[in-house]
Structure 1
């Protein structure tokens, strides 16, 4: 298949999921059909993205482009892809599949609108990664956000209404602010440069101060979306308000698309201008440090992991702040590794939260004894996040440290090492509080699960048992609640009889296995990341693909 044919297929990454989402909306409440079509569609796109990775690997880089509708360059919507794009498409689609899998197993997908919304979200992500026009990037970011609002509400944690409302309000407000600020930057850029096509804007920020300032406004808006210090606090308050499946999905898509855009804009529009790199080193180092400190005082698994996500975003963006081939290679490798590992952590602790009814550290204990598979999955991902060999996190951090040493950024190196230690201690906090030490009164003292006597589907009729429910019951055994029989008492909880089943555990385990593969076979992924980094260091092929020359 020649380059022109491959380029002509790029718009299908957007068109196909949108069309199928529209079809599913017309089919009503046929959830089995929705689930099947949803998985098949995303899996097909994953195969296409993997084909792009193979194409760029076999050709040692390069780029392909397409002017949508075959309109002339400058008028048509430009789509372009290189190795960096292909890797991001592949990993985001992989995470979409495992998140759908977990949502189905945990009943978070029990709505006729879930599958259509996920497909629209996937279309927006694909478009944001493929577009080479800054205004169309805004359009695709909005295509991402609109279904995300719906998914947040549909899958929200209904057992904590205050957190749900607060999280949803914060999530919507911050994203609206980001969109508004980004559009200000795009308008400023168009007014000064007369275009928002990044192929035409190549290296203009190096020579024109107004273009540099306008581009900085766009990057600042994307930094808010990526949750960079000092505009980071919203993420850890908003993400835990929805279900574990949607938290994992958002962690792999929203912030990572913003990071991808920052890499791309700085490489193409700024040409990697070294005059501004110190700003990135300062703020991304602070993001590493403040993010990990934010996790120290938290008491629930998802808020701890959310703050760690902020911290790890600092590591990832340090790669572009170094802007050397080694630094970019390490940053891209770190980005791909982090997407896999963080989703695995959210899904492993999420499986415990769904099954046992709580994610509060200390409310559960000894889960490793009853759930050894999910405990091992968590431990692998946790050690990888902390940078322990032989997992992918070790390779990512080691390469980034070497890149920082090569660039003479010793302060950043010290911060990275210190943050890695605190990260390890935080992961041990979750391990001991949830998986190892026995909680007071047993593994579900403060929260458990109320289950019907119907055993055909252990998740079909679950509702959560919380301390508030115990108070309302005035410390008496709850014998009935809307016709539901309990297996717990308010004061003396026991482990629920049913363990985490295969369907609920498999997504986290799959991603944990991938991080082991990334660690043991790091050379291949480093090669792919190196090709992507070369494309950012020398943007000639990408710009030619964008302009159709």
Structure 2
């Protein structure tokens, strides 16, 4: 495989995003370009996964400039897997956005392409400064996607999101500067092992690099929503448009988790002296996240807290830092992205069809929407770690690795958190999908949604229900009846009949849920890839040799 093609996942989305900005109202062109780009990158990622499956690492210095000047990209099995799963999420997001009408906002597709390009670049970046740049390329479009087209509540949520991430970015850049000041380089390959060593007796240089690296890890911990730096996530994600929330869930925090794993493996040689600290963060993150989920009253708010909780399982693998534990962590992370994105797509379909995902305003969805109910049940059981779903395989491998290393406290906490996750999923299923619909719905008018609304007096960027609380986005289905509005804008009263949730809203969630289900009984191919990725994290020599060309 030609390593020059490593630039493709970054360049292709960015070039197309620029071209699409020149034709903001060409809806069909935007849809085709967005979906096709994700499909092409997904196909390329599959080829990259196969090419790196034997442990090969590809590296490319853009323009063949000397080391220290060139932008260096590197791909191993771990980064290739992350590109592949991100492309899958982006592809389903594009299909969902076309079905929900979110992509009628003229800049949604270009911004989404730019965001995905930043994520791909972060997975491929071989030095800390370019990692910072790519993370910012990913985040800047997310600020716009979250805050535009909404009302007061979305603006408030966006303010929290932007403020916290800008603070984290400032800390990140300061940490990169500190590392360069004490080590003279920001190349991950040249920093290999530079922050390692026992806390007592380690060279002064390695201690300084370790402290500087800790600043970068702090920034990434904020971006990954690790407890106690997590509260911004459940205060912002549930307010995003339905399609955007699904994209965020599959990309944003996962880039931070990936970067933490990569830096700890390369710079700190696994940070075995600080495994207890990583383990403590993992345990607290899991417990606080699942407790928050149990107390929420809308589907997306429950899922937002589970985004916090489930990251703890990946950190367990990093804390134990053995081949078995890292294999489990990589496997869990890949399937978790699929499962969580599927769940958010299910929630988004409910919001588009019914105007809300508040549990007290829903009920009986499984009967008129059997495929949607199947997708949610499959993904929810996988999230809880029930056999034979992929989540069970990932959690079982993590628990086995913890048992082998005598970490029984971690094992017990992981089991209890899985039970809490199952309870929260049962609650959502019982109230939203299985239970009876409420006799009375709140008598509040809602802006019309769908094709009829597109020809109304609203502008192309207007979005329904932006001032509502999370789970009440006010996007009713076609069975709602129009009512008069003092402003002249068509509004509708809530409908008691079932809304139509079309295939373009259901198929994306069903596809991801089906893929996660397949990874349960047919887990061996992904397990083999995860094992190769784990070996590359335990022994980073191939990565270092490929990047430094030594």
Q: How far off is 1:483 after superposition? A: 6.2
Deviates more, 1:275-284 or 1:204-213: 204-213
CA contact (8 A) 1:229 1:283 kept: yes
Q: How far off is 1:178 after superposition? A: 0.7
CA contact (8 A) 1:480 1:486 kept: yes
Question: Which residue is equivalent to 2:34?
Answer: 38
Runs of 5+ in structure 2 lacking a partner?
Answer: 198-205, 457-462, 473-480
Question: Which residue is equivalent to 1:313?
Answer: 311
> CA 1:485 to 1:9, structure 2 compared with 1: closer, same or farther past 3 Å?
closer
Is residue 2:83 matched to residue 1:89?
A: yes
Question: Which residue is equivalent to 1:14?
Answer: 10
Q: The residue matched to 2:367 in structure 1 has which SS? A: helix
CA distance in 1, matches of 2:276, 2:468: 49
Question: Which residue is equivalent to 1:365?
Answer: 363
Q: How far off is 1:74 after superposition? A: 2.2
Q: The residue matched to 1:79 in structure 2 has which SS? A: strand
CA distance in 2, matches of 1:95, 1:460: 31
CA distance in 2, matches of 1:362, 1:149: 30
Question: Which residue is equivalent to 1:144?
Answer: 138
Is residue 2:521 matched to residue 1:480?
A: no
Q: How far off is 1:224 after superposition? A: 0.7
CA distance in 1, matches of 2:320, 2:5: 34
Task: Give CA-to-partner distance per residue, 1:291-341, whole Å, 9 cap, x none.
Answer: 101112111111110001100011112111110001000000110011000
Is residue 2:120 matched to residue 1:126?
A: yes
Q: The residue matched to 1:365 in structure 2 has which SS? A: coil
Q: How many residues are paired up?
A: 525
Task: Give CA-to-partner distance per residue, 1:118-170, whole Å, 9 cap, x none.
Answer: 1111211111110111011111111111111121134x5x4xx3431221001
Task: Give CA-to-partner distance per residue, 1:368-412, whole Å, 9 cap, x none.
Answer: 121111111101100000000111000010000001111211111
Question: Which residue is equivalent to 1:254?
Answer: 252
1:187 pairs with one of 169, 177, 184: 177
CA distance in 1, matches of 2:74, 2:113: 21
Task: Give CA-to-partner distance per residue, 1:235-265, whole Å, 9 cap, x none.
Answer: 0111011112111111111110111111110
CA distance in 2, matches of 1:336, 1:68: 28
2:45 pairs with one of 46, 49, 74: 49
Q: The residue matched to 2:501 in structure 1 has which SS? A: coil
CA distance in 2, matches of 1:466, 1:91: 33
1:390 pairs with one of 384, 388, 391: 388
CA distance in 1, matches of 2:524, 2:443: 46
Q: 1:212-361 alignment to 2 at 5 Å?
A: 212-361=210-359
CA contact (8 A) 1:63 1:541 kept: yes
Question: Which residue is equivalent to 1:419?
Answer: 417
CA contact (8 A) 2:168 2:222 kept: yes
Is residue 2:109 matched to residue 1:98?
A: no
CA contact (8 A) 1:447 1:465 kept: no
CA distance in 2, matches of 1:225, 1:420: 24
> CA 1:440 to 1:39, structure 2 compared with 1: closer, same or farther past 3 Å?
closer
CA distance in 2, matches of 1:486, 1:545: 60
Question: Which residue is equivalent to 2:157?
Answer: 167
2:192 pairs with one of 195, 202, 208: 202
> CA 1:102 to 1:254, structure 2 compared with 1: closer, same or farther past 3 Å?
same
RMSD over aligned CA atoms reads 2.2
Question: Which residue is equivalent to 2:531?
Answer: 530
Give the TM-score of the pair, scaled to structure 1. 0.91
Task: Give CA-to-partner distance per residue, 1:490-544, whole Å, 9 cap, x none.
Answer: xxx5124x42111111111111101111112111111110110011011011111
CA distance in 2, matches of 1:41, 1:81: 20
Deviates more, 1:71-80 or 1:304-313: 71-80
CA distance in 2, matches of 1:138, 1:19: 21
Q: How far off is 1:16 after superposition? A: 1.8
Q: The residue matched to 1:174 in structure 2 has which SS? A: helix
Q: The residue matched to 1:206 in structure 2 has which SS? A: coil
CA contact (8 A) 1:337 1:393 kept: yes
CA distance in 2, matches of 1:234, 1:466: 19
Q: The residue matched to 2:270 in structure 1 has which SS? A: coil
> CA 1:20 to 1:486, structure 2 compared with 1: closer, same or farther past 3 Å?
closer
